Amino acid sequence: MLAEFALAALWLAAALAALQLLAGVLVLSEKALVLGGIVRPLAVVQGLLALAALLGLIGLFATTDLSVALVAENSHSAKPMLYKIAGTWGNHEGSMLLWVAVMGLAGSFVALVERRLPERTMLATLAGQAFVSLGFYAFLLLASNPFARLTQPPPEGNGLNPLLQDPGLAFHPPTLYLGYVGLSIAFSFAIGALVTREVGPAFARAMRPWVLGAWIFLTLGITAGSYWAYYVLGWGGWWFWDPVENASLMPWLAATALLHSCSVLAARDALRAWTVMLGVVAFSMSMIGTFLVRSGILTSVHAFAVDPLRGKFILALLAINIGGALTLFALRAGSVTEGERFSVTSREGALVFNNVMLTGILGIVLIGTLYPLVTEAVGVRVSVGPPYFNPVTALFALPMMLVMMVGPLLRWRRDAPGRVARAQGWVMALPPVVGVVTAAVFIAHGGIGLLPLIGLSLAPALALASLLPLRGRDLTRLPLPVWGMVVAHFGIAVAMAGMASDSAFSTERLIAAHVGEETRVGPWAVRLAGVAPVAGPNWTAMEARLVVRYDGAGATTLTPQSRTYWAPPQTTGVSALLTRWNGQLYTVMGEEVEGDRWQLRLWWKPFVPLIWLGGALVALGGALALLGRVSADLKRISVRTRMADRRQRQGR
Amino acid sequence: MSGPAEKAPRWTLWLPLALFVGFAALVMIGLVHPASQDVPSQMVGKPLPQFVLPAGVPDRPALTSHDFVDGKPRLLNIFASWCIPCGVEAPVLGALAARGAEIDGIAIRDHPADLAGFLAQHGNPFTRLGADDVSAVQLAIGSSGVPETFVIDGHGIIRYQHIGEIRAEEVPFMLGKLAEAAR
Amino acid sequence: MLKPKHQRMVLLAAALTALLAAVLIAAWALRHQASYFYVPSEIKAHPPEADRSVRLGGMVRRGSVHNEADGVTVDFIVSDGRADVPVRFAGIRPALFVEGSGVVAEGHMVQGRFEADNLLAKHDEKYVPREMAGMTAEQARQTVAQTK
């Protein structure tokens, strides 16, 4: 029964979305102004129904109801409960349901709390949100029904891909989806603003918290995804430029640009058309990324099963949503007047540079991701990997980082380099000096590639420069958004140090070891103490016991496994990691080879955890900024109500 | 402050849309092109390649390409016990068999014990069942994965290739293809 | 400070220049850095430059897998039925690496031998690597006949 209820909830939600769109359009075209009052409640109920459908599917997975085709295909009664629930979104249909549920909930949230914009703009925004949701409801209900029943339920389910049976999976996709779909709010705001031509600081202030929220989740999702790939794939790498990874990076780049242009629009009423366009582009990138992954037109290490029909359906959806929004942009943006002026050396100038460079990187990543498709059309098969992406994105990222060092110190509107230098004094010289000294030290050290060298010298300079905006300010009274910016920029420096250190200093050892044999990797001595079979709830494994010592210090035991799952049958390596303050020891176990030896692959990766620590700091910076903005908004609202109260009382 | 003379050229506003249209056209080619290419319809209309396969399970006869030249159209299902969609497809094959379709099976890269377990669990709709332990027949017939189902007419000519599992709603369609092959 | 008209033009010019630069740089870099996919007969006929990273796809010939004494290096032959290419790989092999099945190796040609940095076997056992799907039925049949 649960499946039927959930399906009914989904249909109902779709119907309400249609009604929401219709009511919005009728009000905007001034045909039925009375309907204005029902749009917000409709959005709220629609979101709750979508959530109910998702909870229904989670319930079906939790109880392993094998009469539902999706459960039978993707779950198994012997799976641990965490993975039963995570299995809900570990497949195409379930993940799309998660998508619409998040989208519906985001819409209800906006409908409930957002009251700053003119009501007409809000109605247009909610109608836009309903329009986009409607497409995804149609896709779910017509082309990928998650609740389809089987006529003859099998006695047991087929299980979940073992690579996906990992705690990371339980949290990683929902986090990323909150980010992807959160951007749909920015998209709808942009549409709403274009429809009513209300593009200005109020629009930017209303949109900014949503962009910030989505951006925080995207940052966390990408960081977590990178760590997941790092320890699950057992290849020792943390970023592979795989289409799935690129699909999450592209919306992040667009959202980062949007975030910065939003602050220009909010503070200075400039970059109007550009900000609206980025609002459209950011969510478009989410949809394009999802499409590229789901349609199977690009192969990837972690793609779901592929159905060309679904690909065409999503493409049609993209064409309608993105094509429609961009057409609206082309028609209306001309009548959105350009905002305030500013000189090249100004805060705005630096942020424009940041935006242009981020857009450039976005273009580079998109072109690289699509290139195999282009060549395939002429019959040549290629793959594009780090040799392309690393140097070419660096070409745009490095100038951006340099500008990022001074941008926050510049004044709005107009500034002069001389003024900044005078204001900051000798401290201004510190970052470049640190950078040059670090570079000199590492050049003397030798054997480091150009990109890691640049990264290693830039990171400390950037870290210092990112703290400069704090200088001379009363730290107790500094607004939270400024703290957020400082922390996020500092996080970028930290992550860059980790990346550069990983490629400059990692050492690797690959051996076939006898039990009892000791080997060295970097400062570590690693002894294979034993190999024993172990069993889990739905797998069996050979487990190596590695006794490891850092530079003669006390011993620790690591247990990498070569694991065999039986539902579905598949073998996969499970790495074992040991983290110290100065790096990570990464161990992988292979198969048994002649002469009673076991294959071992070991890495010593100095400072590699800084990559994810940096990512977390960036997200923390975002959270601080969001907290600051939201609390300022709340204060403004309470002041306004108090003033309204007083006026009312005085009037009486 | 922005009279018509101060506007940026209008065409630049259309640039994002133009880029998107380019992208959509590209992926459209990508979507349509391989679909028409990797369905190796080259094999449709051609005779079944010659093969002789040993029996996959003791209670069903072995399978050779000659078995298909008996005047009667039939389905040839390529599957494996380790393949997830095959388990989902199994009841549908059962339904097809119940409605009079004769189905022969080829198990790809399978172990006898797993195969027997799979058939015991999902039912055995197959008239004959061959074991293709090295994917030889699978590749020769132009199949790139499992499950796939071929419609073979009474002269051993391949008339249709279905990639992926047959879904319940496709049963009438497959029966139609079989009837077409009988003509 | 610029006039509004000029400001708009300058911003536009900057954005367009960056976009154009991104496209041109990408196009240039892709020509040099994309790794092309070869089947053995192609790589024999037109070997890529030694420093260029490429992908080689084909069938692991039956009986050709030979483990070196160090326990981690493996030599094998990848075949497409028309040509054979010896491949060497040091590392932990993917579980799906089996004689007689498809493989895609990433690496480069060194004096007639393919030095693989990485072996790809799709995580999903259901499908052969996408690149192999384009092999003609004839190629595939010959491959199988030879790798038996």
Number of domains in chain A: 2
B13 touches chain A (CB under 8 A): yes
C29 touches chain B (CB under 8 A): no
Tallying the residues shown for chain B, one arrives at: 183
Q: Give the pLDDT confidence score for residue A554 in this predicted structure.
A: 84
Q: Identify from A244, A383, A566 which residue to disrupt to test chain C contact, counting C C-beta atoms within 10 A and taking the largest count.
A: A383
Q: Give the pLDDT confidence score for residue A472 in this predicted structure.
A: 79
Contact indicator for C81, C146 with CB cutoff of 8 Å: yes
Which of A144-158, A566-580, B38-52 comes out lowest in average pLDDT? B38-52
Output the DSSP codes for A315-356: HHHHIIIIIHHHHHHHHHGGGS-------SSSHHHHHHHHHH
Q: What rounded mean pLDDT belongs to chain A?
A: 87
Q: Give the pLDDT confidence score for residue A103 in this predicted structure.
A: 92
Q: What is the 3-state secondary structure (H, E, C) of chain B?
A: CCCHHHCCCCHHHHHHHHHHHHHHHHHHHHHHHHHHHHCCCCCCCCECCCCEECECCCCCCCEEHHHHCCCCCEEEEEECCCCHHHHHHHHHHHHHHHCCCCEEEEEECCCHHHHHHHHHHHCCCEEEEEEECCCHHHHHCCCCECCEEEEECCCCEEEEEEECCCCHHHHHHHHHHHHHHHC
Nearest 10 degrees: Cα torsion C32, C35, C36, C40 = 130
CATH of the domain at C43: 2.40.50.140
Q: What is the predicted ipTM? A: 0.79
Output the DSSP codes for A227-239: HHHHHHS-SS-S-
Contact indicator for B15, A333 with CB cutoff of 8 Å: no
Q: Give the pLDDT confidence score for residue A303 in this predicted structure.
A: 41
Nearest 10 degrees: Cα torsion A219, A223, A228, A230 = 150
Output the DSSP codes for A531-561: EEEEE-SSEEEEEEEEEEEETT--EEEE--E
Residues C60 and C123 in one domain: yes
Contact indicator for B88, A72 with CB cutoff of 8 Å: yes
Q: Using 50, 70 and 90 to split pLDDT, how confident is the model at A186?
A: very high
Output the DSSP codes for chain C: ---HHHHHHHHHHHHHHHHHHHHHHHHHHHHHHPEEEE-HHHHHHSPPPTT--EEEEEEE-TT--EE-TTSSEEEEEEE-SS-EEEEEEESPPPTT--TTSEEEEEEEEETTEEEEEEEE--SSTTB--HHHHTS-HHHHHHHHHHH-
Residue A112 in tokens: 């409930």
Are C140 and B140 within 8 A, CB to CB?
yes
The stretch A207-223 carries a mean pLDDT of: 94
State the Cα–Cα distance between residues B150 and B137, nearest whole angstrom: 13
Q: Give the pLDDT confidence score for residue A43 in this predicted structure.
A: 93
Q: Using 50, 70 and 90 to split pLDDT, how confident is the model at A486?
A: very high
Gap from C110 CA to chain B (nearest CA, Å): 31
Which of A249-253, A514-518, A539-543, B39-43 comes out lowest in average pLDDT? B39-43
CA-angle at C92, arms to C91 and C94, nearest 5°: 125
pLDDT tens, position by position, A496-523: 999 999 999 999 999 999 999 999 998 9
Q: Using 50, 70 and 90 to split pLDDT, how confident is the model at A570?
A: low
Q: Give the pLDDT confidence score for residue A6 in this predicted structure.
A: 93
Q: What rounded mean pLDDT belongs to chain B?
A: 79
Contact indicator for A453, A443 with CB cutoff of 8 Å: yes
Instruction: Name the residue type at position A104.
Output: G
- Among candidates B4, C8, B17, C4, which has minimal Cα distance to A331? B17
Residues C20 and C88 in one domain: no
Residues C127 and C110 in one domain: yes
Residue A111, domain member (yes or no): yes
Residues C76 and C107 in one domain: yes
pLDDT tens, position by position, A261-283: 999 999 888 888 889 999 999 99
Contact indicator for A59, A2 with CB cutoff of 8 Å: yes
Q: Give the pLDDT confidence score for residue A609 in this predicted structure.
A: 94
Q: Give the pLDDT confidence score for residue C144 in this predicted structure.
A: 39
Are B6 and C8 within 8 A, CB to CB?
yes
Q: Give the pLDDT confidence score for residue C129 in this predicted structure.
A: 37
Are C92 and A591 within 8 A, CB to CB?
yes
**A556 DSSP β-pair partners:** A548
The stretch C68-86 carries a mean pLDDT of: 86
Q: Give the pLDDT confidence score for residue C121 in this predicted structure.
A: 58
Judged on CB neighbours under 10 Å (0-12, 13-18, 19+), A352 is: buried
pLDDT at B99 over 90: no
Residue with tokens 């210090």: A553
Give A446's DSSP letter. Answer: -
Q: Any alpha helices (H) in A425-560, and if so which ranges?
A: 430-445, 450-467, 480-505
Instruction: Name the residue type at position C55.
Output: R
A373 CB contacts (<8 Å, ≥6 apart)? Answer: A297, A298, B26, B27, B29, B30
Residue A23, domain member (yes or no): yes
Are B6 and C5 within 8 A, CB to CB?
yes
The stretch C116-141 carries a mean pLDDT of: 48
Q: Tell me which residue range forms the domain holding C3.
A: 1-34
Number of domains in chain C: 2
% of chain A with per-residue pLDDT over 90: 43
Nearest 10 degrees: Cα torsion C46, B135, B117, A88 = 40
Residues of A in contact with C3 (CB under 8 A): 341
The stretch A385-412 carries a mean pLDDT of: 90
Phi, psi of C52 (to 5 degrees): -90, 130
pLDDT at C96 over 70: no
- What is the per-residue burial (b if ≥16 Cβ within 10 Å, else e) of B89-125? bbbbbbbbbeeebbbbbbbbbbeeeebbebbeebebb
Q: Tell me which residue range forms the domain holding A122.
A: 1-163
Three-state secondary structure call for residue A13: helix
Q: What is the 3-state secondary structure (H, E, C) of A177-211?
A: HHHHHHHHHHHHHHHHHHHHCCCCHHHHHHHHHHH
Three-state secondary structure call for residue A601: strand
Q: Among B20, B87, B121, whose Cβ lies nearest the Cβ of A322? A: B20
Nearest CA in chain B to C147: B134
Q: Give the pLDDT confidence score for residue B1 in this predicted structure.
A: 33
pLDDT tens, position by position, A83-110: 888 888 878 888 889 999 999 999 998 8
Residues C96 and C69 in one domain: yes
Q: Give the pLDDT confidence score for residue C68 in this predicted structure.
A: 86
Task: Enumerate neighbours of B (3 or more CB pairs within 8 A).
Answer: A, C
Gap from C45 CA to chain A (nearest CA, Å): 16
Are A307 and B164 within 8 A, CB to CB?
yes
Q: How many CB atoms sit inside 10 A of residue A344's CB?
A: 16
Residue with tokens 């007047």: A337
State the Cα–Cα distance between residues C59 and C98, nearest whole angstrom: 10
pLDDT tens, position by position, B48-90: 888 888 888 888 888 988 888 888 889 999 888 866 667 778 8
Gap from A540 CA to chain C (nearest CA, Å): 15
Residues of C in contact with B84 (CB under 8 A): 126
Residue A31, domain member (yes or no): yes
Q: How far from A593 is each of A233, A514, C62, CA to CA, in Å?
A: 22, 10, 19
Beta-carbon pairs below 8 A across chains A and B:
95
Are A368 and C26 within 8 A, CB to CB?
yes
Are A363 and C23 within 8 A, CB to CB?
yes
Task: Enumerate neighbours of A (3 or more CB pairs within 8 A).
Answer: B, C
State the Cα–Cα distance between residues C91 and A113, nearest whole angstrom: 56
State the Cα–Cα distance between residues B107 and B55, nearest whole angstrom: 10
Are C137 and B139 within 8 A, CB to CB?
yes
pTM for the whole structure: 0.81
Are B135 and C101 within 8 A, CB to CB?
yes
Are A342 and C37 within 8 A, CB to CB?
no
Q: Identify from B84, B144, B166 which residue to disrupt to test chain A contact, counting A C-beta atoms within 10 A and taking the largest count.
A: B84
State the Cα–Cα distance between residues A83 and A532, nearest whole angstrom: 26
Gap from B106 CA to chain A (nearest CA, Å): 20
Q: Give the pLDDT confidence score for residue A541 in this predicted structure.
A: 87
Are C25 and A588 within 8 A, CB to CB?
no
Residue with tokens 């192999």: C132
Nearest 10 degrees: Cα torsion A405, A410, A414, A416 = -80
C31 touches chain A (CB under 8 A): no
**B158 DSSP β-pair partners:** B152
pLDDT at A338 over 70: no
The stretch C1-24 carries a mean pLDDT of: 78
Q: Using 50, 70 and 90 to split pLDDT, how confident is the model at C98?
A: confident
The stretch A334-353 carries a mean pLDDT of: 81
Residue A476, domain member (yes or no): no
Residues of B in contact with C8 (CB under 8 A): 6-8
pLDDT at C132 over 60: no
Which residue would you say has higher pLDDT here, B154 or B42? B154
State the Cα–Cα distance between residues A277 and A491, nearest whole angstrom: 28
The number of angstroms, rounded, from the C-alpha of C16 to the middle of its chain's C-alpha atoms is 34
Q: Checking phi first, is residue A209 left (phi over 0); if not, alpha (psi -120 to 50) or beta?
A: alpha
Nearest CA in chain A to C126: A305
The stretch B83-110 carries a mean pLDDT of: 84
Which residue would you say has higher pLDDT here, A636 or A155? A636
Residues C51 and C97 in one domain: yes
The number of angstroms, rounded, from the C-alpha of B16 to the middle of its chain's C-alpha atoms is 40
Q: Give the pLDDT confidence score for residue A568 in this predicted structure.
A: 60
Which of A16-20, A389-393, B49-53 comes out lowest in average pLDDT? B49-53
For A512, the enclosing helix (H) or strand (E) is strand A507-514
Are A280 and B16 within 8 A, CB to CB?
yes
Which residue would you say has higher pLDDT here, C100 or C1? C100
For A131, the enclosing helix (H) or strand (E) is helix A119-138
Residue A250 in tokens: 């592209």
Residues C101 and C71 in one domain: yes
Q: Give the pLDDT confidence score for residue A543 in this predicted structure.
A: 92
Residue with tokens 């034993």: A530
Residue A455 in tokens: 């990264």
Residue with tokens 């140097």: A391
Residues of A in contact with C7 (CB under 8 A): 338, 341-342
Are B38 and C144 within 8 A, CB to CB?
no
